């Protein structure tokens, strides 16, 4: 005879869910006690729910299967919402187990009572409060099936304390996952015709289309048809580097994205949405597909991406085509004045094969894609939903999913402070993560946005809302205080020494890079690169872009 919690954990591990990121409270104590009865389940404590959910996101992206979270009622779930939002946008599978008061206690509206289902619905299409111990594991199996997708999604199983402690729990069999169908013949034929016809064509890849099998298929199609390959602006997981097809990411700045997409006659979506501007700006377009461009969907979020691309490859006769692959090309070691781009260059020069780059560097990471393009194969995880505080937690999950791989997490100082407690979990679990925190003492990107949205009249009070100089945040003390070996660097040489040391020495590291905001660089250094990378820009467009970004 098993109680609900024991049977539930057994159901999870039987379905392959073997990691649970926890931040429990009293209502979850039976689940916590049951952890010891199921040795296959790894439980990882996070000191804030945003760390637990962000870790589950990073884990899901790298393990291609869900982790569970264990969260404490509506307030705990609410604390974890921003990173669940990022997972939702990235279509990452996560199974939330949210403890609740015992069913008979709800009527008293005790202190922690709240409407958990409403909190969950924002991020979780599948939500259920399990009503009794006998049905709990059936509910769990259904939740697991829902979150595995495709599309991957957040599913939330609310577990009342009495359902958890009640006897009579029976583990349920893993859900039967039906393999998704590939695009039908008519769709494939229509898209093949568009690709073989006149006009300028591009293929926009998102989600699972940015993984090796899909990338190889689409690169053959591109080689055969001349279609340009684009990736989502913020990919869930982008496999790139030497030996893989290079794919140009849609730019964050709508002004630049419009240039990338201008003149297109056909845009083919593969596990991606039509591109839109990240924010609305007065007088500027939100929808970025150029007028007159025909949109086609080869594979939607629910379909078989690689199967669809294989069919398209056959239809355009690309099976024997030679794809363009990225050559191994390191940028060289950086020298001279220390700036954020020197860090990016050093990473491009020194990062090992199979590294996982978690990029929440904001303005400091603008040059990262360029400097790492020819590095050995690696994965990049990005801020899919734009809710900051994702980087350091996501690194926790990625490192747990892939213990043999080096994780390099880049975070702005502002972003890092949202979920800095992730460092403690990294130390406790001895995770192989190098955290590089760009301390530019600013919400630098918001200074750019202040100009871009055309907000006039910003004075000292307004600017103070974007300024982190006083008091200066000391990340070395924060890191050391949570058990992570930490160093502050102020020169390129110091950075190189610290980074090389961290690469050689297993376990978590923190490097606090004191850098100037990249804002000035955005005008002087970054813009020319961005402009060059967007083929043959006519001068008027270049001028319009310059004034849009740095008026
Ligand atoms: C959850 C959430 N809160 C607030 C924001 C707004 N926001 C976007 S970027 C940013 C500041 C980022 O600062 P930092 O990480 O230091 O990078 P920098 O801009 O300096 O490069 C803020 C507050 C957000 N995107 N998500």
Given this model, what pLDDT does residue 530 score? Answer: 53
Per residue in 53-87, pLDDT (tens digit) is 999 999 999 999 999 999 999 999 999 999 999 99
Atom of ligand 1 nearest to the CA of 364: 21
Given this model, what pLDDT does residue 274 score? Answer: 97
CA of 414 to the centre of ligand 1 (A): 6
Q: Which two tokens stand for residue 114?
A: 């709240």
Atom of ligand 1 nearest to the CA of 445: 19
CA of 538 to the centre of ligand 1 (A): 33
Name the residue among 332, 331, 347 with its Cα closest to residue 498: 347
Q: Tell me what the pLDDT averaged over the chain comes to.
A: 94
Q: Is 288 in the pocket of ligand 1 (CB under 6 A)?
A: no
Q: Is 261 in the pocket of ligand 1 (CB under 6 A)?
A: no
Angle between the N-to-C axes of helices 212-225 and 185-196, in degrees from 0 to 180, rounded to the nearest 10: 50
Q: Is 412 in the pocket of ligand 1 (CB under 6 A)?
A: yes
Between CA 144 and CA 426 the distance in angstroms is 27
Given this model, what pLDDT does residue 520 score? Answer: 47
Per residue in 123-153, pLDDT (tens digit) is 999 999 999 999 999 999 999 999 999 999 9
Do 206 and 276 form a contact (C-beta atoms < 8 A)?
no
Given this model, what pLDDT does residue 544 score? Answer: 53
Q: Which two tokens stand for residue 497?
A: 């020494």
Mean pLDDT over residues 413-437, rounded? 98
CA of 465 to the centre of ligand 1 (A): 11
CA distances from 202 to 219, 226, 325 (A): 12, 8, 17
| Cα 24 to the center of its chain, rounded Å | 25
Q: Is 413 in the pocket of ligand 1 (CB under 6 A)?
A: yes
Statement: residue 533 has pLDDT above 80: no
Given this model, what pLDDT does residue 1 score? Answer: 60
Mean pLDDT over residues 455-464, rounded? 89
Given this model, what pLDDT does residue 541 score? Answer: 53
Between CA 28 and CA 5 the distance in angstroms is 9
Statement: residue 550 has pLDDT above 90: no
Q: Is 443 in the pocket of ligand 1 (CB under 6 A)?
A: yes
Atom of ligand 1 nearest to the CA of 517: 20
Give the range among 39-43, 114-118, 432-436, 526-530 with minimum mean pLDDT.
526-530
Statement: residue 446 has pLDDT above 80: yes
Give the range among 210-219, 294-303, 449-458 with minimum mean pLDDT.
449-458
pTM above 0.85, yes or no: yes
Mean pLDDT over residues 519-526, rounded? 47
Q: Is 364 in the pocket of ligand 1 (CB under 6 A)?
A: yes
| Nearby residues of 108 by Cβ (< 8 Å), 6 or more positions away | none
Q: Is 410 in the pocket of ligand 1 (CB under 6 A)?
A: no
| Nearby residues of 540 by Cβ (< 8 Å), 6 or more positions away | none
- Residue 139 — φ and ψ, nearest 5°? -60, -40
Mean pLDDT over residues 192-206, rounded? 98
Given this model, what pLDDT does residue 527 score? Answer: 52
Atom of ligand 1 nearest to the CA of 362: 21
Given this model, what pLDDT does residue 84 score? Answer: 99
Name the residue among 476, 471, 463 with its Cα closest to residue 514: 476
CA of 360 to the centre of ligand 1 (A): 9
pLDDT, greater one: 253 or 380: 380
CA of 471 to the centre of ligand 1 (A): 18
Q: Is the dihedral angle over the CA atoms 406, 409, 410, 413 positive or is it negative?
A: negative
| Nearby residues of 341 by Cβ (< 8 Å), 6 or more positions away | 334, 366, 367, 371, 518, 521, 525, 526
Do 148 and 90 form a contact (C-beta atoms < 8 A)?
no
Q: Is 429 in the pocket of ligand 1 (CB under 6 A)?
A: no
pLDDT band for position 467 (cuts 50, 70, 90)? very high
Given this model, what pLDDT does residue 519 score? Answer: 58
CA of 443 to the centre of ligand 1 (A): 6
Mean pLDDT over residues 263-282, rounded? 96
Per residue in 293-337, pLDDT (tens digit) is 999 999 999 999 999 999 999 999 999 999 999 999 999 999 999
Given this model, what pLDDT does residue 258 score? Answer: 92
Cβ neighbour number for residue 494 with a 10 Å cutoff: 16
Per residue in 334-380, pLDDT (tens digit) is 999 999 999 999 999 999 999 999 999 999 999 999 999 999 999 99
Name the residue among 515, 509, 466, 467 with its Cα closest to residue 489: 515
CA of 415 to the centre of ligand 1 (A): 6
CA of 431 to the centre of ligand 1 (A): 26
CA of 364 to the centre of ligand 1 (A): 12
């Amino acid at each position: 005879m098993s109680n609900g919690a024991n049977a539930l954990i057994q159901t999870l591990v039987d379905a392959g869910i073997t990691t649970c990121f926890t931040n429990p409270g009293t209502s979850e104590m039976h689940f916590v006690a049951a952890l010891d009865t199921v040795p296959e389940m790894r439980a990882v404590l996070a000191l804030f729910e945003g760390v637990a959910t962000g870790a589950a996101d990073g884990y899901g992206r790298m393990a291609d299967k869900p982790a569970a979270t264990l969260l404490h009622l509506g307030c705990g779930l609410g604390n974890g919402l921003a990173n669940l939002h990022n997972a939702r946008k990235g279509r990452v599978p996560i199974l939330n187990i949210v403890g609740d008061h015992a069913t008979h206690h709800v009527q008293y509206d005790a202190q922690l009572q709240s409407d958990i289902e409403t909190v969950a619905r924002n991020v979780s299409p599948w939500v259920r409060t399990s009503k009794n111990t006998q049905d709990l594991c059936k509910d769990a199996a259904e939740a697991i099936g829902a979150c595995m997708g495709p599309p991957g999604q957040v599913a939330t199983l609310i577990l009342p304390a009495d359902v958890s402690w009640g006897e009579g729990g029976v583990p349920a069999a893993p859900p039967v996952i039906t393999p998704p169908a590939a695009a039908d013949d008519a769709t494939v034929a229509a898209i093949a015709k568009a690709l073989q016809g006149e006009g300028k064509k591009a293929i926009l890849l998102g989600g699972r289309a940015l993984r090796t099998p899909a990338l190889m298929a689409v690169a053959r199609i591109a080689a055969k048809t001349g279609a340009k390959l684009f990736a989502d602006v913020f990919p869930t997981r982008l496999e790139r580097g030497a030996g893989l097809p290079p794919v140009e990411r849609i730019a964050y700045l709508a002004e630049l994205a419009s240039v990338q997409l201008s003149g297109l006659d056909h845009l083919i979506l593969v596990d991606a949405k039509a591109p839109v501007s990240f924010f609305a700006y007065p007088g500027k377009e939100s929808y970025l597909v150029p007028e007159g461009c025909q949109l086609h969907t080869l594979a939607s979020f629910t379909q078989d991406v690689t199967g669809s691309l294989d069919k398209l490859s056959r239809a355009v006769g690309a099976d024997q085509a030679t794809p363009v692959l990225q050559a191994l090309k390191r940028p060289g070691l950086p020298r001279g004045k220390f700036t954020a781009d020197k860090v990016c260059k050093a990473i491009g020069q020194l990062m090992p094969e199979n590294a996982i780059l978690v990029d929440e560097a904001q303005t400091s990471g603008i040059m990262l894609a360029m400097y790492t393009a020819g590095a050995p194969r690696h994965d990049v995880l990005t801020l899919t939903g734009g809710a900051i505080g994702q980087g350091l937690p996501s690194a926790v999950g990625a490192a747990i999913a892939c213990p043999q791989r080096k994780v390099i997490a880049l975070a702005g100082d502002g972003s890092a402070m949202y979920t800095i407690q992730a460092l403690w979990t990294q130390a406790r679990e001895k995770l192989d993560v190098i955290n590089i925190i760009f301390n530019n003492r600013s919400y630098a990107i918001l200074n750019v946005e202040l100009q871009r949205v055309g907000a006039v009249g910003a004075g000292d009070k307004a600017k103070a809302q974007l300024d982190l100089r006083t008091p200066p945040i000391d990340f070395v003390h924060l890191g050391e205080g949570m058990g992570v070996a930490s160093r502050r660097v102020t020169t390129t040489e110091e950075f190189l020494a610290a980074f090389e040391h961290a690469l050689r020495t297993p376990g978590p590291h923190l490097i606090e890079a004191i850098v100037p905001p990249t804002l000035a660089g955005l005008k002087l250094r970054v813009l020319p690169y961005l402009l060059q990378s967007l083929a043959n820009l006519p001068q008027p467009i270049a001028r319009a872009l310059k004034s849009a970004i740095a008026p």
